[in-house]
Structure 1
Amino acid sequence: MESLVTVFVRLLPYILSFATFLIFIEQINYLKKKRSVPGPNLVLPFFGNAISLVRDPTSFWDLQSTMAKSSGLGFSTNYIIGRFIVFIRSTELSHKVFNNVRPDAFHLVGHPFGKKLFGEHNLIYMMGQEHKDLRRRIAPNFTPKALSTYTELQQHIILKHLKSWVDSPDSGSNPFPLRLLCRDMNLETSQNVFVGPYLSGESRKRFEIDYNFFNVGLMKLPVDLPGFAFRNARLAVSRLVKTLAVCAEDSKTKMKLGEEPTCLVDFWMQDTLREIAVSEDSGEKPSPHTSSTEIGGHLFDFLFASQDASTSSLLWAVTLLDSHPEVLSRVREEVAGIWSPESDKLITAEELRQMRYTEAVAREVIRYRAPATLVPHIAGEDFPLTETYTIPKGTIVFPSVYESSFQGFIEADRFDPDRFMEHRQEDRVYKKNYLAFGAGPHQCVGQRYAINHLVLFIAMFTSLFDFKRERSDGCDEIAYVPTICPRDDCKVVLSLRCRRFPCLS
């Protein structure tokens, strides 16, 4: 009887021939989808250009942008992990994707492997009437009254963390990176604003550990096997949603007693309880969207949407204010005329609205360095993107909000907050190019909250601290973690600029 080795040697030419055939078919399929659109003509089997994407995301997407721009088409192609992709630079074509999120066109995925990570029943993947109904239920969470409640919570956490920064042994003379500090501050802010008193003690500690698992897994290849970061992230999401569902149930119990809302889930539960009561009075079964489990899942969506994007914006705000001292001076002058850190008072909602230049700075930070540079979608069906090119079904499409931010605006490559002031109104004139919060049916519902958070941070950080970046070669280059931040994680030297830190209970 022939040995296994002998059999393998005899079969090896056939195995190699079959593998070569499969590689050839894969290459032909890629070129068939690519057609004459710019993109690599040869790609590695299955992996495509995933290695270069993971190794250096900035260079990968810069190359896609260069190809899209030089061709005049406004888009380019590539191949990653067995998936054909289309990168869109053109603002007009990006809007075409954003405005056609529906079953027979594009499906928002938020992350190339998001369904595996977040689960199928996620706000990101909803479409049509179901999505409209849910957005209607979410709206009461962002009324002026609700935002005013959050403003107070945001400031307490910001001040708490800023004090820990200046009290750190590293402050005063030694530069230290702000990225992880801002991330921790934002995570605590999100926890307090979204679920307030319902997450405490061991639950909060476990929550932070699980969110870190999730954050790490976001940037890894989707290897869903034990011990791999992606698997750890997927399991962590399940635990996080369960924890948030318990918070929603506790809030529901409290709101039934008629108490005043103190965080976002309370405002949500007030409206949810009214909806449940109407259903019960009419003898109908309450909507599935009123269950604590579903609401826990949507709270996680909020957390994901706000956490890393906000961290990115805070870091770029510090970076850009440091490199534009004339802007920093105007911010300090405006804030000083409205709020003093030595007053031991918080900034009121009315005072926040008066900080128009500081808000213009915040909006320009978000335009100039859009946190989530790309918003992945999947083509549910063949879709005619232009008169000459149809995106094949199953393609992952990447509209670039970052690229749109540098189109249309006057001297778009210049950091210029005045473009958002009343005398120029570029936010209205070039509204279609300002895509940092998305467009169409999935446009961000919490953008006012996000702007408020950035304005509050800028106002307090610049009033309390003198700061100086530690400049090094490439420190301001873009790094993906997964949203964008300065490559050096924004290293600064901090010192207290006021006589004392605010004393707030």
Structure 2
Amino acid sequence: MKLSLPEIWVALKLAAPYVATFLAFLLILEQILYLKKKSHIPGPTIVVPFLGNVINLVRDPAKFWDDQADYAKLSPLGISANYIIGKFIILTRDSEMSHKIFANVRPDAFQLIGHPFGKKLFGEHNMIYLYGQEHKDLRRRMAPNFTPKALATYTDIQQLVILKHLIRWTETGSNIPVKLRLLVREMNLETSQNVFAGSYLDKEARQRFKVDYNYFNLGVIALPIDLPGFAFRRARLAVDRLVGALTNCVEQSKKKMLADEEPKCLVDYWMQDMVREERESDTPLEFQPPNCSNREIGAHVFDFLFAAQDASTSSLLWAVTLLDSHPDVLMKVRKEVETIWKVDSNTLITQDQLASMKYTQAVAREVVRYRAPATLVPHLAREDFQLTEKYIVPKGTIVFPSPYESSFQGFTNPENFDPDRFFLEERREDQLYRRNYLVFGAGGHQCVGQRYALNLLVLFIAMFSTLIEFKRHRTDGCDDLAFCPTICPKDDCLVSLSRRCAKFPSLSLD
């Protein structure tokens, strides 16, 4: 029987109170479930249905996480709660709590997820989702990528890219202030491409790579709406294309390593070891163990890119910011570097020279302590987990250990930027408070490329300080934190740059 429009309207009016009652019931139930999960730990008492506090998070991430840290300070446990798009979340600012989470990444406890909606964004085969022996086997296979020989190859490449961009940055003239964030980000992307994929990415592929990586970056901090036209969907599709491009690099590299050519980038070192293992075991390359197909390795290389790109951009920007505001530190860095590496020698900084830059290394370590780039490391509770005697983390909770908050615990005057804490033998704060130094994580999923990241930061500090004269254009709030997606100075590090040396060195791999 076909109803007329007036009859439909009457039916809707009759149903409206029941629909409204049902919706009210769902909203109240959601609130009750939130409060039950929250229990006695600090956090907002009332949250917006379903959305929770996601609007505040997207609008001002720095304030949102500062508020969460302030809530956590009210608890002797150092934890706080909130609710975001149907997800109950917990922040842990206490270092020992964070260690407990890092140490319990396993199927019946926590899963490292990298992003609250990471599986959709990164794909199912991301390294961070692996457990136990499978994860250990993959890390073992990655070990040849970070041997001293491999790291020496990477530092040579890094220096060439850094020098190229320093020259370009000074061409605009010293009186024209520039926002350094986008320039550093572009330099880092080229560094990552050259180190990880070498010459296997041609000019056209690099340009596509740059566009797609920008889509990915925007999607990381966008609302997780996986529909056409939204940033999250564009990011997800961009990741698929980026992994495809890196898979092609893996295929090309494998052919060269089978021909016994010398490795020139990270993919080469990886493929060289796979070829060696295949020859020793008489196992054809097409019968590879888990996580070793071309596509899977391409995805793992993208993991490296993601880990290196924005974290290093953050650290390099804070290095410039902090050197500018601490001229005594800058003077010591310049004095040390100039006694070890001569600009007019036109030679690359060697591994031995890099290792002897003890104070510059201390500056780099203090930069990442003072402004830990990965401020939060999200984990998913796979099961109920007894976090403390009085609190059980409910299954499905996203827990955020905070390396940033841990970095301000234990250390002497932690609010001060003080490289001497890692340089002076009598202080040894790197040993005394190492459990609070969580910038590279802890446990089985600790960052496999931390030496690579620190080498890049030390090289940049050494070369930038020695070759460039710079002046920060400071304004109120310029050093406030901005999330993009790692933390950067709010003004994008506005500086004037000019050449400091008589002439730039002439460097090459020859």
- Matched-pair contact (CA < 8 Å) for 2:42–2:74: no
Deviation at 1:144, TM superposition (A): 0.5
RMSD (Å) for aligned C-alpha atoms: 1.3
In 2, distance between residues paired with 1:143 and 1:422?
A: 28
Cα displacement string for residues 66-125 of structure 1 (whole angstroms, at most 9, x for unaligned residues):
111122220000000000000101000000000000000000000111000011111011
Count of residue pairs brought into register by the alignment: 503
Who is 1:257 aligned against?
259
Deviation at 1:20, TM superposition (A): 0.4
The structure 2 residue matched to 1:348, chosen from 341, 347, 350, is 350
Who is 1:420 aligned against?
422
Deviation at 1:496, TM superposition (A): 1.1
The answer to whether residue 202 in structure 2 is matched with residue 200 in structure 1 is yes
Segments of 5+ residues of structure 1 without an aligned counterpart are: none
Who is 1:489 aligned against?
492
The structure 1 residue matched to 2:133, chosen from 124, 129, 132, is 129
The answer to whether residue 231 in structure 2 is matched with residue 229 in structure 1 is yes
* Counterpart code for 1:117: L
* Counterpart code for 1:444: C
Segments of 5+ residues of structure 2 without an aligned counterpart are: none
In 2, distance between residues paired with 1:294 and 1:282?
A: 17
Deviation at 1:371, TM superposition (A): 0.1
In 2, distance between residues paired with 1:232 and 1:3?
A: 44
Deviation at 1:284, TM superposition (A): 10
The structure 2 residue matched to 1:404, chosen from 406, 409, 412, is 406
- Matched-pair contact (CA < 8 Å) for 2:221–2:484: yes
In 1, distance between residues paired with 2:345 and 2:476?
A: 40
- Matched-pair contact (CA < 8 Å) for 1:341–1:460: no
Divergent runs of 4+, >4 A: 281-284
Greater Cα offset, 195-204 or 327-336 = 195-204
The answer to whether residue 116 in structure 2 is matched with residue 112 in structure 1 is yes
Who is 1:293 aligned against?
295
Deviation at 1:44, TM superposition (A): 0.5
In 1, distance between residues paired with 2:10 and 2:505?
A: 80
Who is 1:50 aligned against?
54
Counterpart of 2:380 in 1: which secondary structure?
Answer: strand
Deviation at 1:347, TM superposition (A): 0.6
Structure 1 pair 67–154 and aligned structure 2 pair: CA distance change class (3 A): same
In 2, distance between residues paired with 1:215 and 1:385?
A: 33
Who is 1:463 aligned against?
466
In 2, distance between residues paired with 1:276 and 1:245?
A: 19
Greater Cα offset, 93-102 or 423-432 = 423-432
Matches within 5 A, 1:282-321: 285-321=287-323
In 1, distance between residues paired with 2:82 and 2:292?
A: 42
- Matched-pair contact (CA < 8 Å) for 1:50–1:80: yes
TM-score (norm 2): 0.97
Who is 1:329 aligned against?
331
In 2, distance between residues paired with 1:93 and 1:287?
A: 35
Who is 2:440 aligned against?
437
The structure 1 residue matched to 2:158, chosen from 137, 154, 158, is 154
Who is 1:14 aligned against?
18
In 2, distance between residues paired with 1:166 and 1:35?
A: 56
Structure 1 pair 500–252 and aligned structure 2 pair: CA distance change class (3 A): same
The answer to whether residue 454 in structure 2 is matched with residue 451 in structure 1 is yes
Cα displacement string for residues 3-48 of structure 1 (whole angstroms, at most 9, x for unaligned residues):
3323222211111111100000000000110111101111100000
* Counterpart code for 2:166: L
Counterpart of 1:84 in 2: which secondary structure?
Answer: strand
Counterpart of 1:448 in 2: which secondary structure?
Answer: helix
In 2, distance between residues paired with 1:377 and 1:277?
A: 39
- The percentage of counterpart residues that share the same residue type is 64
The answer to whether residue 481 in structure 2 is matched with residue 478 in structure 1 is yes
